[in-house]
Amino acid sequence: MMDDILLSVEDLHIEFQTYAGTVHAVNGMTFDVRRGEIFGLVGESGCGKSVTGLAILRMVPEPGVITQGTIRFHGENLLEKSDEQMRTIRGGKIAMIFQDPSASLNPLFTVGNQVVRVIRQHLHLGKKEALERALAMFEAVGLPEPKRIFHAYPHELSGGLQQRAMIAFALSTGAELLVADEPTTALDVTIQSQILELLIDLRDSQGVSILLITHNLGVVAETCDRVGVAYAGSIVEAGATDDVLFDMKHPYTHGLLAAIPHPSRRGQPLQAIEGSVPNGLALPPGCPFHPRCPKALPICQTQPPALISLGAGHFVACHLYAGQKES
């Protein structure tokens, strides 16, 4: 199984120094992304999903600092790479797709001009070869009329076409891992579905691994092979998508799923998790979820739970299951 792991994030901690104090944004984040899979990282806003994605590319904005942990890609710790080495990896072997594609495209240059420059920078191809590769990537991601879009400026494209163009950017250099941060949030429902189908097709046809960062459990259910549920900067439950969504163990996962509207509960009040996400300036001691947890034990108030295996690749960080740890 270790040979299947492309990316391994282990005990990652990220802090932001502010005038109000130290914000603990990521607190021991641990998960793996295997070759040729879509791994979903899901959780409420403020749980550290997006900054973890940025950390993988060494793009945590100031004043953020990675204080602890490892991020291994092909077994090599990216946190030990030089800036020059990261420039080769970033956009070359690992690419990121952001929530708002219009903010990632330069409005002063045509889409084709931008992708050709990226290809030539990372693959060192001639202009003609880079142009041919760009057009091939546009076709691969289902862009209609690739030549027209090649010569178009970003503002001339819809949000869906812009996002497809960004995916073409990522694939054009032979990236093995796509970090997709809420790639469909800014799009309407129909286009969202098309982009998600495209990601699945790229996994199946090209073997691309995808880290899909989202708050939408419906997206996870339709798209992801495995999923990690994040809360207050760490993983509280992880495993095969069906196991986590249909045999959930952590009270937080139960709460997230119970909060989803369902036709069988029409006319009934929506369920909600009591309380709010803890402030990163003052995280509670012990398990960070214990102030909101309906099943909290005394130990939860003082001791953080470890991420333990329940077997079959299903992991949970909860004292309720400490006695069920796989031998």
pLDDT of 30-49, one tens digit each?
A: 999 999 999 999 988 888 99
Q: Rounded to whole angstroms, how far apart are CA atoms 54 and 77?
A: 15
pLDDT at res. 304 = 93
Residue 259 burial (CB count, 10 A): 12
> Any idea what the Cα angle at residue 76 is, between residues 89 and 312, rounded to 5°?
110
CATH topology of domain 2-93+176-324: Rossmann fold (3.40.50)
Q: Which residues of the chain have pLDDT under 70?
A: 1-3, 186, 324-327
pLDDT at res. 325 = 54
Least Cα distance to 250 among 270, 234, 271, 269 occurs for 234
pLDDT at res. 206 = 85
pLDDT at res. 305 = 94
Q: Rounded to whole angstroms, how far apart are CA atoms 73 and 178?
A: 12
